[in-house]
Structure 1
Amino acid sequence: MIKVLLADDQALVRGALAALLGLEPDIEVVAQVGSGAEVVPAALRTGPDVALLDVQMPGGDGLDAAGALRSALPTCRVVVLTTFGRPGYLARAMRAGASGFVVKDAPPEQLVDAVRRVHAGLRVVDPTLAAESLSSGTSPLTDRERDVLVAAADGSTVAAVAARLHLSEGTVRNHLSAAIGKTSARTRAEAVRLADERGWL
């Protein structure tokens, strides 16, 4: 029996996935959570073999949760399941130790197959997304540039971003300028939007 943990902040989606997987004779959903922060505690309680993690959740996204889960429970394999089929997300998921990346509009049998294959030690990646990822390359942003863009995404002033990240205002301006250049944007708001669309945030 393959024990599965589901993490998605939408209760209807979680319920539908649980019902779908529950129809399979060799799969049992042992935990369902609605935020990234709940993933590791639930996994430590229930010992899943495979975790299906949504990318965008409150309390830490699925990509952060994937990394934390790999550290806390290395035997649990991770499949990132997302509406957002962005090449940058795929790269981040793989760096976080995910074994699979499946978009939510994939046929149900593809998701079931992904669970079985990942449990067997294989990697499963949506083929269209894999091709896009290879053609678009990796994120050109440094970790600090990414942090500054994320902190500036809500429209915060340079001073507020600097205070939040414990950096000088000049350093924040330099990182924002570099990020704007690397995304070929005209403004920092556009840089945030473009980086987010490419999965670099």
Structure 2
Amino acid sequence: MRVLVAEDQGMLRGALSALLDLEEDIEVVGQAEDGEEALEMIRSLKPDICVMDIEMPKMTGLDVAEKLWADKHPCLVVILTTFSRAGYFQRAMKAGVKGFLLKDSPIDELSAALRNVNAGKRAVSPDLALSFWEAENPLTEREREVLRLAREGLPAGDIASQLFLSAGTVRNYLSEAIQKLDAKNRIDAIGIAEKNGWLD
């Protein structure tokens, strides 16, 4: 199978590519250092699978996956992450990502995952799977919008005018979000939502 490796840390990208290239049935056809370059190389080199870091400059791994999904591109995506964030996982599944693995997984686990994905299966690190399935995003889209604006430091009145709501309604949304997240206040609620990837 032909594989592209997209990772912004040069040493890790090189090591990962070299280790994968040692596998008899895997050929690393290219290496990208950011999301934009990964997208260009996927389109020009047409690899079977792209192994992508989630956090990259210019475009994240999830941005690239969403673009490929929208374009109905046949390249399969396997995401590597250090982040156990349920929001990322849910977004990845919606974008047709076939694999979601921890960066510190052994190379044998990654190779096996790539073979499974190439055979039409999904591959998710067991350590990630349980925490992801248990953590569903409890916030409505409107509550997320209000929290995003609150994260920018806007008071209720300014958030209200941006969303064409009354200040009282905004305070109600904030109160609901704080309650749902079992947070102490709005700052705490924003922190909890961010940690889980629910504001992305």
Q: Flag whether TM exceeds 0.5 (same fold).
A: yes
Which piece of structure 1 moves more, 110-119 or 66-75? 66-75
- TM-score computed with the length of structure 1 as normaliser: 0.82
Measure, in 1, the Cα distance between the counterparts of 2:10 and 2:146: 32
1:187 aligns with 2:185: yes
Distance 1:148 1:35 in 2: 31
Q: Indicate whether 1:132 and 2:128 are aligned.
A: no
The match for 1:45 is 44
Q: Distance in 2 between matches of 1:66 and 1:124?
A: 16
Q: 1:70 to 1:184 in 2, by over 3 A?
A: same
Q: State the percentage of identical aligned residues.
A: 46
- The CA deviation string for residues 80-114 of structure 1, in whole angstroms up to 9 with x for no partner, is 11011233322221111111111111111001111
The alignment yields a C-alpha RMSD, in angstroms, of 2.8
Gaps of 5+ in 2: none
The 5 Å alignment of 1:138-149 reads 138-149=136-147
Distance 2:172 2:86 in 1: 26
Opposite residue 84 of structure 1, the aligned amino acid is F
Give the match's secondary structure for 2:131. helix
Structure 1 contact 70–76 (Cα < 8 Å) conserved:
no
Local SS of the residue matching 2:127 = helix
Q: Which amino acid is 2:154 matched to?
A: T
Counterpart of 1:167? 163
Measure how far apart 1:53 and its partner are: 1.6
* 1:146 alignment partner, SS class: helix
Q: Distance in 2 between matches of 1:151 and 1:31?
A: 40
Note closer, same or farther for the CA distance 1:61–1:158 as it changes in structure 2 (3 Å cut).
farther
- Would the aligned equivalents of 2:84 and 2:132 in 1 still touch at CA under 8 Å? no
For structure 1, the 5+ residue unaligned runs are none
Q: Is the 8 A contact 1:87 1:130 kept in 2?
A: no
- Asked if 2 retains the 8 angstrom alpha-carbon contact of 1:158 and 1:173, the reply is no
Larger Rg: 2
